[in-house]
Amino acid sequence: MTEAAQIAAKFSREMISGNDANQLKEMTSKGAKVNAKPDVEAFRKAVQPVYAKAREKYGADVDVFLKDAEMVRKSAR
């Protein structure tokens, strides 16, 4: 079961990656400008007010979600 899940996960990642690449290629061929290396830190800084507003509505759950997202980013590197 575990082996099948690992094979399926790899297949899924490869399929999604290939699909993303094809869509970006199509978009650029139609004139879209794609920033392949965005300034992620600038984006994270810019969205901080959104997180503050979300905390007003959802409380500490926002920080739990952000912490989980950071763990996923670290494990995906």
pLDDT digits (tens, 9 = 90+) for 25-66: 999 999 999 988 999 999 989 999 999 999 999 999 999 999
Does 77 have pLDDT greater than 80? no
In this prediction, residue 36 carries a pLDDT of 84
The residue ranges of every structural domain in the chain are 1-35, 38-77
Residue position matching structure tokens 């810019």: 46
| pLDDT, mean of residues 3-20 | 88
CA dist., res. 31 & res. 14, Å (int): 26
Residues 6+ apart with CB under 8 A from 63: 55
Average the pLDDT over 11-25 and give the result: 86
Higher per-residue confidence, 16 vs 25: 25
Model pLDDT, residue 46: 96
Chain centroid, CA 37 distance in Å: 14
**Measured in whole angstroms, how far is the alpha carbon of residue 32 from the centre of its chain?**
20
